[in-house]
Amino acid sequence: MYRNYFFKLSQLILFFLFFINVHGYAQSKDSITVVQKKWTSKKVAKGIQWKQGHFDDLFNSVQEVNWVEIDLKRHNKNLFLAADAKTLKPTSQFAEENNALVAINGGFFNMKDGGAVDYIKVNRQVINETVKKSDRANAVLSIDNKKVNIEAASSANVEESAFRDVMLSGPLLIQGTERSVKSKNPFNDNRHPRTAIGITKKDKLILLVVDGRNAQAQGMSLYELASLLKWIGAKDAMNLDGGGSSTLYIKGATPNNIVNYPTDNKKFDHEGQRDVANIIYIKN
């Protein structure tokens, strides 16, 4: 009886160790793939670099990634939010109305009635209050002329914040270089187009879009997204609205200024923008 018990226990331990080794190998392979990636890199302006990369095998999938790295020492004063309390517009329209050089779609919103569903403040004016608290919206982006923070949300750094611009969204992906995605649910675990923002130890801002819902770009889970951000240098990062909303705008980079492949037209081109409630942008 005891011999049979110990045999089964030893088999279970061996299986567990095998699983850990395989999982660790996959993570190591993927991290090396990202760290050694030769990104197609273009200068947007002094202190702003656009990077693009296609992966045939990242997380055992095909991936298309576009991101902009911004030197905050030079451009912190040019970083802003833009939002409308009710009217939804394409990211490119928000960008053009605000003379943006670079812009990315922001937080989650009401697709029927417009407006953000989570707290957002622009230029010290509250545009939308949180409609309903959720576990997903657990991160906050705070912007002032000399400081940008990404951190876990609380009343002290959201509603009571003294920062000029504040956006509640999430989930929080990385805090202090540690990945923060814990919950298991379809939103976190399934692959979708994703939008995220991060800050590196060297005080660089990352605006990143992962394309998806296409054979040429399968999208990422939030754990995969957090891993990617960690490997490109983010110490703090948060998820933003993804899916059909995911859009990265760079003025002059393409005929319509969109560099990723938004999915709302169900084509792999630059034309499928979705109307959104707010953006994060660098002023031209």
DSSP labels, 86-145: S--EEHHHHHHHTTEEEEEE-S-B-TTT-SBSS-EEETTEEEE--SS--SS--EEEEEET
Per-residue pLDDT at 182: 80
d(CA 249, CA 121) in angstroms, rounded, equals 22
- Chain centre distance of CA 203: 17
How confident is the prediction along the chain (284 residues), in pLDDT tens digits per residue?
545 555 555 555 544 444 444 444 456 899 999 999 999 999 999 999 999 999 999 999 999 999 999 999 999 999 999 999 999 999 999 999 999 999 999 999 999 999 999 999 999 999 999 999 999 999 999 999 999 999 999 999 999 999 999 999 999 999 999 999 988 899 999 999 999 999 999 999 999 999 999 999 999 999 999 999 999 999 999 999 999 999 999 999 999 999 999 999 999 999 999 999 999 999 99
Degrees to nearest 5, angle at CA 49 with 43 and 54: 105
**Residue 3 confidence (pLDDT):** 54
Looking at residue 19, its pLDDT comes to 44
Helix H or strand E segment including 190: none
The predicted-structure confidence for 138-166, as pLDDT tens digits, reads as follows 999 999 999 999 999 999 999 999 999 99
Domain assignments of the chain as residue spans, ordered by start: 1-36, 40-283
pTM for the model: 0.90
pLDDT, position 4? 58
> What pairs with residue 40 in β-bridges?
52
Q: Which two tokens stand for residue 99?
A: 């003379």
